[in-house]
Structure 1
Amino acid sequence: MVPLARKTLLHEWRRFLPSGFAVAFSGLLLLVQAALVLGIFGSAAVYVRKSGGDLWLGFPGTQSIELGRPISAQAQIAALMDPAVARVEPFNWLDGDWRGPADKGGVSVFISGIDTHADALMFADALSPDLRARLDEPDGVIVDRADLAKLGLDVGGQAILNGHRVRIVGAGNGLRALGGVNILTSLETSRRLDNGEHAGQVAYYVVKLKDPSQASAVQARLDAQGKAGRFQAWTRDDFARNAVIYWMFETGAGLGVMFLAVVVVLVGAVITSQTLMGAVAGSIREYATLHALGVGVRALRRVVLEQAAWVGAFGILVGGLGTLIVVALAQRRDVPAQLSPMIVVVCAALVMVIALLSGLAALRTLRKADPALLLR
């Protein structure tokens, strides 16, 4: 029966092609939606994932970078006293008010004060040593290239940030933050821009270990000391995951996206089932002939389900290729979109489920495969 399913698909490919494209379109929507979700909400962890270091120290209970508060220098001292720690680097994060060209008005921005040494940990994967060195210029800042238009300025332009005049000394890629524009400065410049009551303190310390495999053990030791010193330690992966989960579930934005994913699955299942039922109905006389030759209804059902599986495989292949093209175009336009192997596997499984459910719905058409039909 399996060869029969394949031969029927090849011979009657025009009938089954709409079903295949319906599955492919469902897969395309799911994968593109997943890529946008990972890209958009993943940018909440851009500070962590674009930086080196194995541990992060911050205010207890902090769920995302922008929720951080200044912590005492005791956190840095505690980390440096641990024999497993190789380096500790401060990271100053604070809110900012950007005043550029008059036609752009004010823009709320995020200020990231970082170390300017060539081997610094913060944004190690996003800044070249030459670009980082430009921050040594007093009041120099770096922004993401995609945010220049939003700020209304180009490299070399000047603006007022928290009441101080700053100059854009460079533009990078992969620096965009979720919810606002990320402005990179040196630690010295960020301290001058900090007008809050905690000026002089930083919000985070990034810790590099001698042996990264000891991250969990060192994190537990620093956590124990942090209870008295009012700070908490997270591993790099845990802190990045917490930021993404916070934006996806605590803010409500992610729930809306997931609801849309459910709608995509349901619509895809309905459309695919209707097209597959039409294809089976178009071959009803052939199924009736097989039934008259002694092929049981159960065997015919297996044929239809095999056909649905092959249609699903075709849809996954076409939808996957379409997704690669769409995601590549999105990234060229600085649209945050990214995919992971696990998400691709999950979406492919959902697409196959849609195809098989459509095959089950099409089984009702086999009730008309009565040999008496051949006498009409």
Structure 2
Amino acid sequence: DIWVVSKNVPNFDFTQPFPAYRINRVRALDEVLWAEKIHVWFAFLKLADGRREQAQVIGFNPDTGVGGPWAMAAGAAADVKGGSYIIMDESSRQRLGKLELGSTWELNLFKEQSFKLVGLSREALSFTTIPVVFTSYNEVSQSLMGTDFEGQTSFIVAKLKDPARVAQVAQSLRAALPDNDVFTKQEFINRTVNYWTIQTGMGMAFFLTAILAVLIGGAIVGQTIYAGTIEHLRDYGTLKAMGAQNNDINLVILTQAAVSAVLGFAIGAIVTLAARGGIEGAGVMMQLPPLLFAVVFAIIVATCLGAAHISVRKVKTLDPVMVFRE
């Protein structure tokens, strides 16, 4: 419910250490059910061929599992307890190669240490796509961190007895910990999303790409429908001469646009779902909720209907007398 971090930490990935004893101030509040420390650091893994690959190391308390892997493909989160043991996410195969339980890996944070792979997690992917490695909190503190960071931690997380009081408790902790930032879970999520989508410019790039795709798609659909309208202009004129109303002909044109929208959406959805496996295999998780498909479908339909407006205006001003001029 509550995250305590260093001042001005922008997101979960980029942390700064602070004194771990401050957890006592968190636990001192009556509203707090429990509080745990979590380490998050970037380190280097030494591969069998001698190459080094950057990894995100997460140290958690294996007795509680807080901060550890939430889904396991092999082994259990508690297996890292009591020694130099690590858990890697199965998605890391793309960058690290074969992941065999019992194999030994060298991990270097401030000093190099050998670890035994005892488990494989699922769905633990970093936004930067680098491999995620879990180990015990004590192992990070004792084996990987230098003396300069002794007694330091990256995060303090707390669970409240009454989650409804999260705003009040967060405010109390801000007063008790003036040298830290204190966020509710949702506030920290929003802060992380804001960093990657706005502060890095990545979100604006995706937004502009989507806008460009809509404009180009609309132009292509509009041009196609307009060309078809011009080709059958005499036919539409004949229908108007026979008594057809503008609304009747408009319905024909808009139906063509709607059919184009449905076919385009169907093809795009099929291609997206077919490519999902390969993309996720490369370490990039795709979130495709039904709401996303619904919103995209609505945008495509609106774009196609809007693009057909030029053809509708052309037919609306069509004089049926032109049919009899030739």
Mapped pair 1:59 → 2:59: no
Question: Which amino acid in the other structure matches residue 15 of structure 2?
Answer: G
Give the counterpart of 2:201 among 252, 256, 261.
252
Deviation at 1:331, TM superposition (A): 4.4
Distance 1:313 1:153 in 2: 43
Percent of pairs with identical residues: 23
Shift of 1:319: 4.2
Q: Counterpart of 1:8?
A: none
How far has the Cα of 1:368 moved from its partner? 7.8
Structure 1 runs not aligned, ≥5 long: 1-53
| Structure 2 residue 139 is matched with structure 1 residue 189 | yes
Deviation at 1:239, TM superposition (A): 1.0
Give the C-alpha shift of residue 164 in structure 1.
0.9
SS state of the match for residue 65, structure 1? coil
Mean CA deviation greater in 183-192 or 282-291: 282-291
1:160 aligns with 2:109: no
CA distance in 1, matches of 2:68, 2:321: 74
Q: For 1:138, what is the secondary structure of its paired residue? A: coil
User: Which segment is superposed worse, 107-116 or 240-249?
Assistant: 240-249
CA contact (8 A) 2:86 2:117 kept: yes
User: Structure 2: which amino acid aligns with 1:190?
Assistant: V
SS in 2 for 1:197: helix
The answer to whether the 8 Å contact 2:221/2:257 transfers is no
Q: Secondary structure at the match of 1:159?
A: strand
Q: Is 1:264–2:201 an aligned residue pair? A: no
TM-score (norm 2): 0.86
Question: Once the two structures are superposed, what CA deviation does each residue of 1:219-261 show, in whole Å capped at 9, x if it has no partner?
Answer: 122122221xx11211112212221221122223333222221
**CA 1:223–1:167 in 2, change beyond 3 Å: closer, same or farther?**
same
**Equivalent residue, structure 1, for 2:118:** 169
Q: 1:71 offset after TM fit, Å? A: 1.9
SS of match in other structure, 1:243: helix
1:132 counterpart letter in structure 2? A
Change (3 A) 1:176 1:248: same
Is the 1:158–1:166 contact (alpha carbons within 8 Å) kept by the matching residues of 2? yes
Distance in 1 between residues matched to 2:106 and 2:278, nearest whole Å: 35
Q: How far did 1:121 drift? A: 2.3
- 1:290 maps to a residue whose letter is L
Asked if residue 353 in structure 1 is aligned to residue 299 in structure 2, the reply is no
State whether residues 94 and 282 of structure 2, in contact with CA within 8 Å, keep that contact through their aligned partners in structure 1: no
- Distance, in Å, in 2 between the alignment partners of 1:301 and 1:285 is 15
The 5-angstrom pairing of residues 129-140 of structure 1 reads 130-140=75-85
Q: In structure 1, how many angstroms separate the alpha carbons of the residues matched to 2:223 and 2:147? A: 62
Query: Aligned partners of 2:173, 2:74: CA distance in 1, in Å?
Result: 31
Relative distance call for 1:140 and 1:326 in structure 2 (3 A) is same
Structure 2 residue identity aligned to 1:339: L
Aligned to 1:71: 18
8 Å contact 2:73–2:90 — kept in the other structure? no
Shift in Å, 1:88: 0.5
Query: Cα gap change, 1:365/1:159 in structure 2, threshold over 3 Å: closer, same or farther?
Result: same
Following the alignment from structure 1 to structure 2, what is the Cα–Cα distance between the partners of residues 177 and 134? 22
Structure of greater relative contact order (alpha carbons < 8 Å, 6+ residues apart): 1
The answer to whether residue 222 in structure 2 is matched with residue 273 in structure 1 is yes
Q: CA deviation at 1:193?
A: 0.7
Equivalents in 1 of 2:74, 2:9: separation in Å?
Answer: 30
Shift of 1:293: 3.0
Structure 1 residues 318, 100: CA separation in 2 closer, same or farther (over 3 Å shift)?
closer
TM-score using structure 1 length: 0.75
Write the distance in 1 (CA, Å) between the matches of 2:258 and 2:316: 21
Question: How far does residue 359 in structure 1 lie from its aligned partner after superposition?
Answer: 1.0
Partner Cα separation in structure 2 for residue 354 and residue 128 of structure 1: 43
Partner of 1:102: 49
Cα distance per residue 1:116-175 (max 9 Å; x no partner): 12x422246334895112111511111111213422442222222121111222211111
CA pair 144-201 structure 1, distance change in 2 beyond 3 A: same
Q: Which amino acid is 1:235 matched to? A: T
CA distance in 1, matches of 2:188, 2:158: 13
Partners of 1:319 and 1:100 lie apart in 2 by 39
Structure 1 residues 122 and 259 mapped into 2: Cα distance closer, same or farther (>3 Å)? same
Distance 1:231 1:173 in 2: 32
* 1:215 corresponds to 2:162: no
Q: By percentage of residues, which structure has more helix? A: 1
Offset, 1:195: 2.1
Structure 1 residues 94 and 306, CA gap change in structure 2 (3 angstroms): same
- 1:41-74: CA deviations, max 9, x gaps? xxxxxxxxxxxxx111111221212221112235
Which shifted more, 345-354 or 161-170? 345-354
Paired residues, number: 319
Matched, 1:235 2:184: yes
8 Å CA contact retained: 2:234, 2:323: yes
Q: Cα 1:196–1:102, aligned 2, differ >3 Å: closer, same or farther?
A: farther
Distance 1:196 1:372 in 2: 92
My pick for the range that moved more, 168-177 or 310-319, is 310-319
User: Secondary structure at the residue paired with 2:66?
Assistant: coil
Residue 373 of structure 1 and its aligned partner are, at CA, apart by 4.1
